[in-house]
Amino acid sequence: MSQAALCIPILPPAISRAVQVLPLLPLSLSLTAYSRRVAKNHPSLFRRLGDYGHARFILDPTDLPFVIYLEPNGGAPRVTVRRRSVTADGEARIAGPLAALLGLVHGAYDGDALFFSRDLVVEGDTAAALALRNAVDDAELDLAEEIGGMSGPLAKPLHRLIGFIEGRTGVFLSRPEEVAPW
Amino acid sequence: MEIVCPAGTPAALRAAVKAGAHTIYCGFADETNARNFPGLNFDRAEMREGVAFAHAHGAKVLVAINTFPRAGSEHIWHSAVADAGAAQADAVILADAGLLDYAARHHPDLRRHLSVQAAAANADVINFYAKSFGIKRVVLPRVLSVAEIAEINAETDIETEVFVFGGLCVMAEGRCSLSSYATGKSPNMNGVCSPASHVEYVDTNGKLEARLGGYAIHRVGQGEPAPYPTLCKGCFSAGDKTGYLFEDPVSLNAEQLIPQLAKAGVTALKIEGRQRSRSYVAQVVRNFRAAVDALEAGRAMPQGMMARLSEGQAETTGAYKKTWR
């Protein structure tokens, strides 16, 4: 008995082409500042990484033209965005559509299920990838909420915009609401 | 019937409770439990908080201390039992006879369950553990048919708990040396079957190969489910034959057998998967809670929809129906 895999949204090529022009240095600096805010709000995430708190993770959204290098750096994380053509080493590479990666971060998808269905690819140090997956899963992250916290008076309209995009694309940009307790 | 659910992290514990779990089992972040994987499990403070959260919502917490103490390092396991008691856990799940004896003598009020790792598969041995160490429940190995479980329940007053969903072990529980052979790490001593540090996936020309300790154990083509990284589910070639030597990469799903298990006298249904995400935990728990509630209300069993969450994305009723080749 088997069942069809999850239908993970793939970004249209037009979006991929459009973001190709983004300047990578400001993007890297913004994501680093953002990840440090997340680190401040979720210190247990870095504790859970244990031996891999200073590893370098390659997060590869396969439907985008760039690759994200995440270094937890013991709780002061650094994020570097590079063109796909520019390669650098890392302990583990986790690759899949952006929607799959965001769904994992938000606890909407099960990592093992995505891996067995081949929606997600893990290469390199499997233990490092597992530690990151487990640490992120426990942190109950909501990236939209974190962005909202940085947006001052724009938080509410931004929240509505994110909800609109989620509804139209099926991509989890925030933590899905839990259904009512049993 | 009681649903016993896995939690590898505090977030998974909360998800299980909210999804309707009666009981959650979890372990400390060390070698005392059989799911000692990177990023998983609970430190002492998290265990205390997790137990308090579960109790506040009417659920119980069982602490798995189900590996076998190393000679000279027994104090690590003794501390785990003491700390589970201090955290107000509802029971500890133990496998080692020495540790059971220690717990019975030093923490007599802490309820003791016999782990599946003890491989107690008949009424005589279960009654022996009950008489010697005061166990109140046994987790039965995944090698018994429903009829055999009914036979056991007829001959013992000890509660029985059986696995109904998740990964399967083909070996007698607690006696597997395959992972040790390939990696030097033992599931029973170090708490890791196929430790992630020894697992490697390599994509070569579109074919995905799983390796354990440097040994290739399975290779699949594009479009096929990713191979599971354990030797017992490996696919091997010898001469002109290729096949799964030990067992097919399928996952247990006994959801439709719940009424028969209830008739066989089973007290609790266990879900495997402390290494899985809170998303998995919430989905599986909700599904099984619906099934148990349907049984108690006299309704038909709901049709399952959990194959996607299974290892290998395929399911079996395992030994319960004895259809193995």
CATH at residue A80: 3.30.1050.10
What pLDDT was estimated at residue A70?
A: 97
Among A49, A112, A126, select the one facing B200 at the smallest CB separation.
A126
B283 neighbourhood in chain A, CB within 8 Å: 110
Residue B146: CB atoms within 10 A of its CB come to: 20
Is residue A155 assigned to a domain?
no
Domain spans, chain B: 2-168+250-320, 187-244
Cα–Cα distances (Å) from A32 to A25, A71, A133, in that order, read 10, 10, 19
Enumerate the residues of chain B whose CB falls inside 8 A of the CB of residue A117.
225-226, 308, 313
Pick out chain A residues at pLDDT < 50. Answer: 1-4
The Cα B76–Cα B209 span in angstroms is 37
| Residue A67: inside a domain | yes
The answer to whether the beta carbons of residues B279 and A109 sit under 8 Å apart is yes
Strand residues in B170-289 grouped as ranges (E): 199-204, 207-212, 215-220, 235-238, 241-244, 251-253, 268-271
Look up the CATH superfamily of B2-168+250-320. Answer: Aldolase class I (3.20.20.70)
pLDDT attached to residue B313: 55
Using the beta-carbon criterion (under 8 Å), do B280 and A112 form an inter-chain contact? yes
What pLDDT was estimated at residue A2?
36
Name every chain A residue with its beta carbon within 8 A of the beta carbon of B275: 112
Distance, CA of A22 to CA of A74 (rounded, Å) = 29
3-class SS letters over chain A? CCCCCCCCCCCCHHHHHHHCCCCHHHHHHHHHHHHHHHHHHCHHHHHHHHHHCCCCEEEEECCCCEEEEEECHHHCCEEEEEECCCCCCCCEEEEECHHHHHHHHCCCCCHHHHHHCCCCEEEECHHHHHHHHHHHHHHCCCHHHHHHHCCHHHHHHHHHHHHHHHHHHCCCCCCCCCCCCC
Cβ proximity of B160 and B267 under 8 Å: yes
Q: What is the pLDDT of residue B203?
A: 86
Which pLDDT belongs to residue A24?
94
Per-residue exposure over B68-81, b if at least 16 CB sit within 10 Å of its own CB, e if not:
bbeeeeeeebbebb
Q: Does A105 reside within a domain? A: yes
Among B259, B195, B258, B170, CA closest to B37: B195
- In a domain, residue A147? The reply is no
What does the DSSP 8-state code read for residue B69? Answer: P
The label of the residue with tokens 């079996």 reads B316
A96-141 pLDDT, tens digit each: 999 999 999 999 999 988 998 899 999 999 999 999 999 999 999 9
Cα–Cα distance list, B248 to A3, A175, B235, B314 (Å): 17, 36, 8, 9
The answer to whether A126 contacts B201, with C-beta atoms less than 8 Å apart, is: yes
Residue whose entry in the numeric block shows the structure tokens 């390669």: A87
- What residue numbers bound the domain in which A83 lies? 13-141
Residue A154 lies in a domain: no
Q: Which residue of A has its CA nearest to B11?
A: A138
Q: Under an 8 A CB cutoff, do B12 and A138 touch?
A: yes
Cβ neighbours of B11 in A, within 8 Å: 107, 137-140
**In contact, B99 and B69? CB cutoff 8 Å:** yes
Q: What is the pLDDT of residue A7?
A: 85
Which pLDDT does position B122 carry in this prediction? Answer: 96
Closest by CA to A107, choosing from B41, B278, B310, B286, is B278
- A58 lies in some domain: yes
pTM above 0.95, yes or no: no
- A135 to chain B: nearest residue by CA? B39
B39 touches chain A (CB under 8 A): yes
Q: What is the pLDDT along chain B (325 residues), one digit of tens a residue?
A: 999 999 999 999 999 999 999 999 999 999 998 888 899 999 999 999 999 999 999 999 999 999 999 999 999 999 999 999 999 999 999 999 999 999 999 999 999 999 998 999 999 999 999 999 999 999 999 889 999 999 999 999 999 999 999 888 766 666 678 888 888 887 777 777 888 999 999 988 889 999 999 999 999 998 888 888 888 889 998 899 899 888 888 888 888 899 999 999 999 999 999 989 999 999 999 999 999 999 999 988 777 656 555 555 567 777 776 654 4
Q: How many domains, in total, are found in chain A?
A: 1
Q: Which of B203, B225, B282 sits opposite A116 (nearest CB)?
A: B225
Q: Which residues of A have a CB under 8 Å from any CB of B?
A: 1-6, 48-52, 104, 107-113, 115-118, 121-123, 125-135, 137-140, 178-179, 181-182
In B281-300, the residues whose Cβ lies within 8 Å of chain A are 282-283, 286, 289
CA distance A155 to B21: 36
Q: Is B314 in the A-facing interface, judged by CB distances under 8 Å? A: yes
- Shortest CB distance from A6 goes to which of B39, B275, B308? B308
A3 within domain boundaries: no
Helix runs in B204-308, H state only: 258-263, 278-296
